[in-house]
Amino acid sequence: MAETGTALRIEPSDQLAAIGQAVITTDLDGVVLYWNPAAQDLYGWTPQEAIGRNIASLTVPEVAQQVAADIMVALREGVPWSGGFPVRRKDGSRFPALVTDSGIYRDGTLIGIVGVSTNLGTALRPLLERSTDAALILRSDAVVTYASPAVRQLFGWQHDAIIGGPITDLLHPDDRIALGSFLRRLLARPGAHPPLELRLRHAGGWTWAEAALTNLLDDPVVRGVVCNLRLSIRRSAQEEAEARAEQLQTALESRLTIEQAKGFLAGRDGTTIDAAFERLRAHARKHQLAIRDVSHLVLDGELFASKPPDPVQ
């Protein structure tokens, strides 16, 4: 039995190794100095592989290199950073991480940077992945750091294709200014905001969706803007009704054109309406045209400009 009052010394390295989150220390140039076991589990690189290499070459995908460089500049100036960030595993796969980076000081001088990171998808999965809505997490600059499985089901988006890119890439060009104005208002006030309707990329075209955005930049788990997306039932119903009305109008105009052509031929040629229609139909079949188009040609004087010859007795 240990003597009373005997203190058990726990080394700092033992404490960092026991933390369930990835802890990575670099020098001011981004070269890795420390890499705990959780970092190996999260990113796939062993400490032996990681130490001595630049952190950007290990964990930062190409789409996020410039942002990572900007963050590093801010850290060298003594400004800590926390938020969602797209990262890369050793096998090349990407995932969203919640990252907190801070400077390490000695006697008031910045000597290194320590970062703590965890899989943002793991943290948010219980909240977002059971929803039938598509969910995105955005940084304050509108870059996508997380996408729920429903984005593929509803819009056909591939996770690797959208994580790390701006949400504006998914929007119809005419809706980008409106979203920009909305985001400026949203960033000024935490919490939920009224939904807005946007056209989103879908199956090579565009579809209307309702976007509900919540500012959770101050939330220690999310550190971002939650964007819930669902297909707009109102817009879909409206577009369907407009399409039906357009079809009916087209059908009515076609019917009217055909009736006018029949009446013109019957009156000019002294024949019956049925005979005039048969003449239109026969020409349409022979030349593989729509009867409506043949009727237009007749009314424009480009077809059947003269009465057909009387049959030989």
Cα separation, 279 vs 225, whole angstroms: 66
pLDDT at 128 over 70: no
pLDDT at position 1: 45
Predicted pLDDT at 241: 63
Between the alpha carbon of residue 93 and those of residues 51, 83, 96, 117, the distances in Å are: 21, 20, 11, 16
pLDDT category of residue 124 using cuts at 50, 70 and 90: low
- DSSP alpha helices (H): ranges in 61-175? 65-76, 120-128, 150-155, 159-162
pLDDT of residue 65: 83
Instruction: Provide the percentage of residues in the chain whose pLDDT is more than 70.
Output: 88
pLDDT grade for 233, boundaries at 50, 70 and 90: low
Residue 164 Ramachandran class (φ > 0 left, ψ -120 to 50 alpha, else beta) = left
Q: Taking residues 127-134, what's their average pLDDT?
A: 66
Does position 6 have pLDDT exceeding 70, yes or no? no
pLDDT of residue 251: 81
Helices in the chain by DSSP H: which ranges? 12-18, 37-43, 47-50, 55-59, 65-76, 120-128, 150-155, 159-162, 176-187, 233-269, 273-287, 291-299
- pLDDT of 23 strictly over 70: yes
Kindly indicate the confidence band of residue 235, based on its pLDDT and cuts at 50, 70 and 90: low
Task: Evaluate if residue 4 carries a pLDDT over 80.
Answer: no
Beta bridge partners of 105: 110
pLDDT the model gives residue 135: 85
Give the mean model confidence (pLDDT) for residues 58-62: 89
Read off the pTM: 0.51
- Nearest residue to 216 (alpha-carbon basis) of 138, 145, 125, 164: 138
Q: Helix %, strand %, coil % for the chain, to 5?
A: 45, 25, 30
**What residues are paired with 31 via a beta bridge?**
54
DSSP 9: P
Model pLDDT, residue 168? 92
State both tokens at 229: 């997306």
Torsion of CA 129, 130, 131, 132, to 10 degrees: 100
Amino acid letter for position 61: P
Q: How far apart are CA 103 and CA 107, in angstroms?
A: 13
Q: Which residues contact residue 159 at a Cβ distance below 8 angstroms, ignoring those fewer than 6 apart?
A: 94, 147, 151, 152
Whole-angstrom Cα distance, residue 191 to residue 32?
37
Each residue's pLDDT tens digit, 175-225: 999 898 899 898 888 887 888 889 999 888 898 888 888 888 887 667 788
Task: Answer whether residue 159 shows pLDDT above 50.
Answer: yes
Give the range among 104-113, 161-170, 229-238 with minimum mean pLDDT: 229-238
Q: In this predicted structure, what is the pLDDT of residue 111?
A: 92
The first and second tokens of residue 74, run together, are: 């801010």
d(CA 214, CA 136): 11
What are the structural domains of the chain?
A: 16-120 (3.30.450.20), 129-231 (3.30.450.20), 243-299 (1.10.10.10)
Q: Give dist(CA 50, CA 267) in Å, integer.
A: 91
Rounded distance between C-alpha atoms, residue 24 and residue 308, angstroms: 92
Question: What pLDDT score was predicted for residue 242?
Answer: 64
Is 271 in contact with 257 (CB distance < 8 Å)?
Answer: no
Q: What is the mean pLDDT of the chain?
A: 84
What pLDDT, on a 0 to 100 scale, did the predictor assign at position 175?
A: 92
Confidence of residue 84 (pLDDT cuts 50, 70, 90): confident
120 or 292: whose pLDDT is higher? 292
By DSSP bridging, strand 196-202 and strand 205-216 are: antiparallel
| pLDDT higher at 309 or 86 | 86
Q: What is the pLDDT of residue 14?
A: 77
Residue-level pLDDT at 237: 60
Spell 230-239 as b/e; 16+ CB within 10 A means b. Answer: bbbeebeeee
Predicted confidence at residue 2, as pLDDT, reads: 47
